[in-house]
């Protein structure tokens, strides 16, 4: 197991060295340097989450209205750059997780 931990630490360092990760960190810092922008983005995300999980509403219509309401924020270059960078790093991490789990068998139901 020790070898796996060592390999995971190398992978962690490799991820931190990627352009995707460095861009994410840079854009995150730029966003957080502007308290108003970061608070408004947090508010947008919270409201979006609530809409996505609310019962009895049409989430597509509600989210469309929310996006229109926050259009100016979402088109702000600092926010937009952060969201794009975040999406790229999340996609990369998803691919990493899938690669790690490929071929591993976890069968909890048959135990």
In 10 A of CB 32, how many CB atoms? 13
Give the pLDDT confidence of 53-84 residue by residue, as tens digits. Answer: 888 777 888 889 999 999 999 999 999 999 99
Q: What is the pLDDT of residue 111?
A: 55
What Å distances lie between residue 110 and 10, 25, 98, 102, 104, CA to CA? 34, 43, 23, 20, 15
Residue 11, pLDDT score: 97
pLDDT band at 50 (very low <50, low <70, confident <90, very high): very high
Residues 30-47: what's their mean pLDDT? 97
What average pLDDT does range 45-58 have in this prediction?
A: 88
C-alpha dihedral sign at 37, 61, 87, 50:
positive
């Amino acid at each position: 197991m020790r070898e796996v931990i060592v390999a995971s630490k190398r992978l962690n360092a490799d991820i931190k060295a990627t352009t995707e990760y460095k861009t994410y960190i840079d854009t995150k810092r730029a966003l957080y340097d502007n308290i108003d922008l970061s608070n408004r983005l947090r508010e947008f995300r919270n409201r979006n989450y609530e809409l996505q999980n609310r019962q009895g509403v049409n989430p597509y219509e509600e989210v469309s209205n929310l996006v229109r309401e926050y259009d100016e924020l979402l088109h702000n270059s600092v926010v937009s750059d952060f969201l794009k960078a975040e999406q790229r790093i999340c996609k990369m991490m998803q691919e990493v997780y899938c690669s790690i789990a490929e071929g591993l068998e976890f069968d909890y139901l048959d135990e």
